[in-house]
Structures are given as C-alpha cells and as structure tokens.
C-alpha cells in the first residue's frame, strides 16, 4: 500500500474548472471519503487518480511515483500501469463467468500461473465472504453479493490503492448498512489505501478515517469525521455535515483559554472556538438544552419521532434551531432553551465581528 498525493491538481473541461488546485495527501492504508454536493468534482478527482483523465494543472503521485504531471505530459502513467483497483457503482461483472472466474480474471490477463491464481482467488473470496458462492453466476447473486465480487476482483490484483465510486448507491438501505460493515472489515483486513466517493454523509462519516468535504472543485475541509462534526471550518461544512443550525454572531470576545463569549440571537452565549476572530455559530442538536430556566424562548415548528427521541424544529429570533427531546412537543408550543458550548468559527466569506469588550474581562 502507498501514500497518494495531490499537488495543485486542477482539471478544466472546455474552459470550465471542475477541480481548482487540490492539495492533499492520503496516508498509506488510510480510508478517505470524498464528500460533497453533485458537481463538486468528486468523480473528476477519482478519474484523474485512476488515469482516465489527465490533469490540466498540478500533479499526482502514488508511493512516491509520479502518475501525472501537467507540466510533463510524457510522465503520464496509463490506467493499466497504475496498480490501482477500482470499484464502480455498476458492478461491471462478466455475466457468463462464475464468481470465482470473475475474480480470477485480472490474474488470467496478467498470465499468473494457475496454482498461484487459485490461492489468491480463494483468499479474496474468504475476505469478502464469497466462498460459498464461488460457482454461481452473477445473475444468481444479490446486489450486495455482486458488489462484494467486484471488491474481491479488485483486491485479488493486490493494488496499491483502491478507488470506490459510490459503490453502494444502487443498494437498498438495509443492504447498504450491511455493506458498510463489509467495506470496513475489508479495510481492516487488507490495510488498503482507499478513496471512496459518496454524496451520502452518513456513509462518509461512518466509514472513513478522514473525510474531504468538497465544493466547486475545492476541498473546504479535510479532517476526521468527529472533527468535521464538532469543529467545522466554515458555514458550508457546518451546514452540509450533520444536523443543526448556522447562525450569525454580532460581537465576540475572549472568555478563557478554551471559550469565547459571543452575542447571537440577542443573547450572550459561551462558545468553543479556535480564537476570538469569529462570525458564526454552529449549533448542533446536542448543544440545545430544553429547560424552564433557559434564557431563550422558542416556538416548536415541527416534531418528528426518530427512534429513541423526538427531533424538534424550534423557531427563535428569526433562526431555526434543531433539538432532541425525550418527550413529544406540540407544534405551536413555546419552550425555553439554553445553549451549551456551540462551536464558533470565522466563515471564509465573512469578516470577523466586532469585539465584545466587557467579555474580555469576565
Ligand atoms: N467529461 C466532462 N466534460 C465536461 N464537463 C465535465 C466532464 N466531467 C465532469 N464535468 C463537469 O465537471 C464538474 C465536476 O463533475 P464531477 O462529475 O466530478 O462531480 P461529482 O462531484 O462527482 O458529482 P456527482 O455527485 O453528481 O457525481 C461538473 O460541473 C461537471 O459537469
């Protein structure tokens, strides 16, 4: 397995930029998800890595070997020479071949001797739980089993990195959950460097060591799932990843080493922050406490049962907050709220707000 590096990687289609200078390193054996809205450039980054496209700017390398460099077109390494495995959404299996034969196919093409081929196919089937289905045709398998054949076929070639392009998009919800576990187990057992494209955030957060959140051809934040959730760097990431609300801050000042005091929604609120230069708050459901002593008044606009708790939509001071409640609330009912350490950040598009002077001496 090997480290995958993007340096200033750009791609333009007919003058329209799809990727704008991607700089990122995916560690050897790391599982990284590319997450973002439709058209943000996820598939383009995967296709450049696979070698189906050439970059218009920058370079990419795998295990220290340059695979493409826009300034040196002759350095371009073709897809067959890259030693990268790819798993597509549409499994791309040979319908007339058995499971075992489909998995063996990349080794047949490479003229690997039969005895070694059989050993490697048996190992790949064992890792993906396909041993009992070795002699079936793809048409006799479920969607999840077919996707595991595609995974085993990619694994058998012993690639340095594995690219997965929305591999679960065609499966129903229950099967997706089971396959997520299969992918996680596959990753634990093989230690493969994996780049996984999805626009399903729960899938990205559940599976990946780190998630690159993309928008308009740029990586906006590249962090562990729990960091993306609890410390988003801008309004886009705060709104795109996880549930909750993003609200404007009018003033801010230091409180102590870890906390700042901000003015938002007509209240002074203690918030977590990287520093006093902030412009917005990200308020997650667990930051909202429903308590009779709370300083904020809110009207219930919606109440949905989500299994184990109710998800409440709450209108306050022109903002919509999301809260979780153990008990049902009636739409139209008024509740009192307190906010517990929401995250404050400075949005890339916004100037930092004015200082809250008295807070600095609190
Ligand atoms: N071959 C192409 N020719 C012209 N434009 C392209 C081509 N491939 C991609 N694009 C454009 O590049 C941008 C990024 O597309 P890309 O497919 O990488 O997005 P994506 O994030 O994978 O989206 P989705 O989630 O919908 O698959 C889009 O504006 C798209 O229209």
Mean pLDDT in residue range 115-129:
88
Helix, strand or coil, per DSSP, at residue 103:
helix
Tokens (6 digits) for 93: 């299996």
CA distance 206 to 225: 8
Which domains, and CATH codes, for the chain? 4-234 (3.40.50.300), 243-357 (no CATH)
Q: Whose CA is nearest to atom 29 of ligand 1?
A: 39
Instruction: Tell me: pLDDT of 45 over 50.
Output: yes
CA distance 310 to 229: 20
Q: Whose CA is nearest to atom 20 of ligand 1?
A: 39
CA distance 16 to 41: 12
Place of tokens 């928008």: 215
Instruction: Tell me: pLDDT of 206 over 70.
Output: yes
Q: pLDDT (tens digit, 9 = 90+) per residue, 289-319?
A: 999 999 999 999 999 999 999 999 999 978 9
3-state helix, strand, coil in the chain (%, to 5): 30, 35, 35
CA distance 315 to 322: 9
CA distance 252 to 261: 6
Tokens (6 digits) for 308: 């184990």
pTM of the predicted model as reported, rounded to 2 decimal places? 0.87
Q: pLDDT (tens digit, 9 = 90+) per residue, 263-273?
A: 998 889 999 99
Judge whether 115 and 143 are in contact, CB under 8 Å.
Answer: no
Instruction: Tell me: pLDDT of 359 over 70.
Output: no
Q: What was the ipTM of the complex prediction? A: 0.97
Q: Whose CA is nearest to atom 2 of ligand 1?
A: 13
- Locate the DSSP E strands across 173-217: 193-198, 210-215
How many angstroms is it from 43 CA to the middle of ligand 1?
A: 7
Q: What is the pLDDT of residue 32?
A: 96
How many angstroms is it from 39 CA to the middle of ligand 1?
A: 5
Q: Whose CA is nearest to atom 8 of ligand 1?
A: 44
Q: What is the pLDDT of residue 357?
A: 62
Q: If we measure between CA atoms, which residue out of 276, 291, 301, 284 comes closest to residue 326?
A: 291
Tokens (6 digits) for 167: 């591999």
How many angstroms is it from 53 CA to the middle of ligand 1?
A: 12
How many angstroms is it from 35 CA to the middle of ligand 1?
A: 14
């Amino acid at each position: 397995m090997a480290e995958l590096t993007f340096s200033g990687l750009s791609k333009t289609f007919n003058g329209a930029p799809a990727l704008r200078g991607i700089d990122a390193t995916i560690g050897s054996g790391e599982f990284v998800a590319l997450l973002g809205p439709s058209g943000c450039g996820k598939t383009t980054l995967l296709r450049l890595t696979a070698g189906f496209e050439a970059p218009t700017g920058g370079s990419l390398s795998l295990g220290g070997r340059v695979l493409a460099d826009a300034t040196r077109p002759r350095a371009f390494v073709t897809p067959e020479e890259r030693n990268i495995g790819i798993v597509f959404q549409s499994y791309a299996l040979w319908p007339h071949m058995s499971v075992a034969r489909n998995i063996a196919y990349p080794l047949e093409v490479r003229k690997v001797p039969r005895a070694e081929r059989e050993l490697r196919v048996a190992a790949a089937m064992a890792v993906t739980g396909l041993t009992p289905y070795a002699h079936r045709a793809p048409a006799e398998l479920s969607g999840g089993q077919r996707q595991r054949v595609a995974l085993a076929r990619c694994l058998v070639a012993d690639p340095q990195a594995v690219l997965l392009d929305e591999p679960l998009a065609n499966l129903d919800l229950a099967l997706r959950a089971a396959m997520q576990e299969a992918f996680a187990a596959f990753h634990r057992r093989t230690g493969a460097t994996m780049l996984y494209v999805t626009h399903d955030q729960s899938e990205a957060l559940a599976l990946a060591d780190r998630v690159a959140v993309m928008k308009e051809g740029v990586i906006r934040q590249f962090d562990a799932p729990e960091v993306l959730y609890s410390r988003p760097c801008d309004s886009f990431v705060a709104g795109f990843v996880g549930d909750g609300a993003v609200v404007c801050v009018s003033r801010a000042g230091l409180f102590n080493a870890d906390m700042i005091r901000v003015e938002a929604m007509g209240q002074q609120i203690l918030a977590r922050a990287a520093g006093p230069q902030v412009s917005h708050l990200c308020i997650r459901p667990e930051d909202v406490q429903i308590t009779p002593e709370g300083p904020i008044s809110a009207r219930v606009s919606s109440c949905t049962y989500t299994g184990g708790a109710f998800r409440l939509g709450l209108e306050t001071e022109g903002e919509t907050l999301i809260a979780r409640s153990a008990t049902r609330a009636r739409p139209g009912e008024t509740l009192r709220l307190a906010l517990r350490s929401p995250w404050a950040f400075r949005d890339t598009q916004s100037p930092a707000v004015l200082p809250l002077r008295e807070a600095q001496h609190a």
